[in-house]
Amino acid sequence: MSHASSSKICKYNVFLSFRGKDTRRNIVSHLYNALEQRGICTFKDDERLETGKSISDELLKAIEEARFAVVIFSESYASSRWCLEELAHIIKCKKELEQIVIPVFYDVSPSDVRHQNPPFAHSFSQQEVKYKDDMEKVQRWRDAFVEAGKISGYHLLNFKDEAECIKKLVDDIFPKSLQVISPFPESLVGMKSQVEKVTSLLDMESNDVRSIGIWGMGGIGKTEIATILHQTYRHRFEADCFLGDVGKLHQKNGLTWLQQVVICKLLGEKLTLTSEHEGMNILKNILRWKKVLFIIDDVNHQEQLEFLVGEPEWFGRGSRIILTARDKHLLISQVGDNVYEVQLLSEDEALELFSRHAFREKTPKEDFMELSRQVVKHAGGLPLALKVLGSSFYGRDKKHWTHIIDRLKRIPHKDILGKLRLSFDGLDKEEKELFLDITFLDNAYCGGSNFHLCVESVQRDPSRGFLVDCLVEKSLLSINISNKFVMHNMIRKMGENVNIFVMHNMIRKMGENVIREEYANSRIWLPKEVYDLFKGKLITEMVENLCIPKYYYFEDDFVNYSNTFKRMQSLKILIVGDGTFSSNCAITYLPSSLRFIDWPGFPSFSLPESFEPSQLVVLCLRKSWLAELCPISKKLSNLKHLDLSESLELTKPPNFGDMPILEKLNLEGCVNLKEVHPSLGHCRMLTFLSLSKCVKLKRLPKFVCMESLVTLNLLECTSLQEFPEICGDMRGLSILNLGSPWIRSLLPFLSGVRDLQLNDCEVLESILDTIRNLRDLSISGCNKLATLPNSLFESQQLEYLYIDRCSGLVKLPISLGVQKKLCRLTIERCENLKKLPSSIQMESLRNLRISDSPKLDTFPEINGDMHCLKFLTLKSSGIREVPSSIGNLSGLEFLHLEGCEDLVSLPDSLCNLMNLEHLILHRCKKLEKLPENMGDLQELYMLDVSETAIYQPPPSITKLGKLKILSLSGSNISCLPKNINKHKILSESY
């Protein structure tokens, strides 16, 4: 007999026991339909019996496989031997299998059942006559009646009508039936937190109609999340419908068929529709009175939303509509901003999910761990890939594992590709071409920083508009904003408008497969194909994108590269790896069809004279041998990105008047460039300009029409005499990096600057008080600065502050002490700094470092909540004491006071730092004792008291259970407490 306890997943939710002739056409029929409509799987003997099975055996088995047994007692119930056998077996399952029994008293009373009063008395008398030779059986039936009559159930006389009784019964059963299946089975790794976030969007307590979208790439878990939500919340609604795989069903069966399915599930009506409009009218006219949960999975066309979901007015108050799709724009058009983007699994989650399918365990077997990590890395946190790949490894030995992994590197798993290919097939022609170009770029750049920048540039190709946005919306490309450090550095390097694009490993593999099967020879990056191309074995006219790998070695030194390029009249993207061509390899021809060139170390002194660059959008010739860009004037009317950085031979600057829509210009490290063409100041579209390390550049032209400029980098321009004259509006300038020993002042037109870096501006005496909205401030080697204006910090926007080698700096303004967003503050080698704000209250500060500032003798009081501060360094400063308010730093893990030679004491409140792990007091030569309650620092791992005046540590030090490193060298401590050795101190030197 199978187990049917609450932890068991049963075949049926409900088994119905009833006397057919009394109830089949009334209460049983209505109850059965109500249960089924709520998705409660119900066994009814005239609907569910399998042909060829013994009726009695089938009934007994069905009872055992049900979570609930609903027994409808009617007047002739006891006249049926089958009903009596059912009831006896139900009572047995109640006792042995914890089955829940629910009696319904239909025109009879519980007392009649319990005592076998009329009308049951006559039925039992007849049974006794019929089974006079087996009275034990009859007694068993009587006992079952007694037991059932004692159970609290539903007496029809207590309700105004049959409908009310049925509604109450179904409402009571439904939430309990859901307990059979856990909402978060172990196999759904990494889903619980995501379901919670989607649930918050649903706002289940609100009584309005709410629609939300769940968005993500194929195989990422959208359907799983929607399924969990359906199982968890369906009992709260009058009707529910989960419509899965809508895109495929729409294509196969049409919208009218889908509407019929929805009407059947939500309204319990089987209708034949003649048109989509008829179905739409029925849905919106009938659903408006019902509170429904409607889930449509894998939407891929606007028509599906128009004819199945329509407007919120279609649905009754409290209804919830959940849509899943790979196309974000499609979801936004229906639900607005209520869209949740499903996240890939973390590395640990991915390993667990893979292991559950590869080993049927939570973690991989120890000797398979490294191989498992290789597969998990290949899958890139995509649940579908992890499940499919995990199952393919199940039960195989290491030899098979190695073979499969090697094969995966060449040919990705077809089951995964098929799922992902659906997104590609839904693109139009231009979108497909762009997707394949980006697949090519991702392979060419291996997903590095150049990939992000090139995708940013490719999407702006005039012939393509902004199709990259479509690829992001359709989950074939993503924008990574999780790594704030990488994003911050990218913005500093290339400007505010940079997106960090990411193509998932499995999406890229799918794209490679499409190229290989349907676009052969159009996009070439593999060394073997490059070899065949220059050997004349491939059709050069078909090549659109070409990447010659870094340090690629051409066996034949006499290959005429220019002749090969002449035959590539369709070439649009050319990427040449660094170190591929020697400097004596002149390039005399390039196809004028090129739109994108990235060729570090370009070996010629100029672009070929025959080359017409009118199609170029991106030109990156870093570390080139160029002396000039073009020998004769050429129109670069579509050029948006020009990078000639570190071109050491460049002496003649290009005429920027030939580049009317130039947006990014990088001339960094052009050390022989002495001047810039005057047309630079008229580049109206320019957003990014870097002239860093142009050490011979003495002056810049007037900035006349540069209102679009966001980033200006003039670091290490050691010959620049003055800041460029600004004639027009430059309020858009957000990032300014300046490094010249000759510039005495900044211009007052810089009020919009948010990131300011001043390096080695040795004669700069002040920073303008018009700069008020700084996010990032870095000052180094500015020796004439005595203070900073209070206005710099009044806006409360500062996040990073770095001050180094500013010997003239004496004090910092009071407003610095109350920065709400500041997360990192570093002050180093400011030898004359004497004063900080008297108190600090920086709720976001994580790292505070002050070092080599010997005249700073007082550390500020700590006010308010600063629990985020984890690292505090006061190295080689002149402080005499640490304020007692340091005990308020509840999150502090690292306290570094090395070289504070005037420090004489530590406050007792230091022992309140319950998270402190490292305490460094090295060379605090006047410090004679530690606080008595040092033993309270239970997380302390390292204590360095070397070269201090401490002669006796407090006895409580023996309580430091996690202390592993105690450095005593050069101290006055002659002996330790007797019990200190048991703490396994590993070192006495630091």
Separation CA 318–CA 205 (nearest Å): 8
3-state secondary structure 621-681: CCCCCCCCCCCCCCCCCCCCEEECCCCCCCCCCCCHHHCCCCCEEECCCCCCCCCCCHHHH
What is the identity of the amino acid at 283? L
CA 129 to chain centre: 74
Separation CA 194–CA 677 (nearest Å): 55
Separation CA 735–CA 494 (nearest Å): 10
Instruction: Report DSSP letters for 787-812, one per residue.
Output: ---GGGGTTS---EEEEES-TT--B-
- Nearest Cα residue to 444 out of 605, 565, 620, 586: 620
What is the identity of the amino acid at 905? S
Work out the angle at residue 634's Cα, subtended by the Cα atoms of residues 628 and 635, and round it to the nearest 5 degrees: 130
What's the sign of the alpha-carbon dihedral 116, 121, 124, 125? Answer: positive
Spatial neighbors of 401 by CB under 8 A, at least 6 apart, are: 368, 371, 393
Token look-up 């009063």 returns 117
**Rg for the chain (alpha carbons), in Å?**
38
Separation CA 34–CA 106 (nearest Å): 17
Work out the angle at residue 16's Cα, subtended by the Cα atoms of residues 11 and 96, and round it to the nearest 5 degrees: 60
The two three-digit tokens of residue 956, written as one number: 């409580």
Instruction: Report DSSP letters for 368-385, one per residue.
Output: GHHHHHHHHHHHTT-HHH
Phi, psi of 895, deg, nearest 5: -120, 115
Separation CA 16–CA 29 (nearest Å): 11
The two three-digit tokens of residue 244, written as one number: 């899965």
The two three-digit tokens of residue 189, written as one number: 């790794």
Separation CA 910–CA 904 (nearest Å): 14
The two three-digit tokens of residue 787, written as one number: 């203070």
CB-based contacts of 25-28 (< 8 A; 24+ apart in sequence): 26/162, 27/72, 27/104, 27/106, 27/156, 27/162, 27/165, 27/166, 28/72
Q: Are 86 and 44 in contact (CB under 8 A)?
A: no
| Residues acting as catalytic residues | 86
Instruction: Report DSSP letters for 124-149, one per residue.
Output: HHHHHHHTTT-HHHHHHHHHHHHHHH
What is the identity of the amino acid at 538? L
Q: Are 591 and 565 in contact (CB under 8 A)?
A: yes
Separation CA 708–CA 713 (nearest Å): 15
Separation CA 810–CA 818 (nearest Å): 19
Q: Are 734 and 757 in contact (CB under 8 A)?
A: no
- Nearest Cα residue to 45 out of 14, 10, 22: 14
Other C-beta atoms closer than 10 Å to the C-beta of 547 total 23
What is the identity of the amino acid at 488? H
Q: Give the helix/strand (H/E) hosting 105.
A: strand 100-105
Separation CA 443–CA 431 (nearest Å): 18
Which SS3 state, helix, strand or coil, does residue 689 take? strand
The two three-digit tokens of residue 270, written as one number: 């089987």
Spatial neighbors of 246 by CB under 8 A, at least 6 apart, are: 258, 296, 297, 298, 299, 300, 304, 308
Q: Are 198 and 227 in contact (CB under 8 A)?
A: no
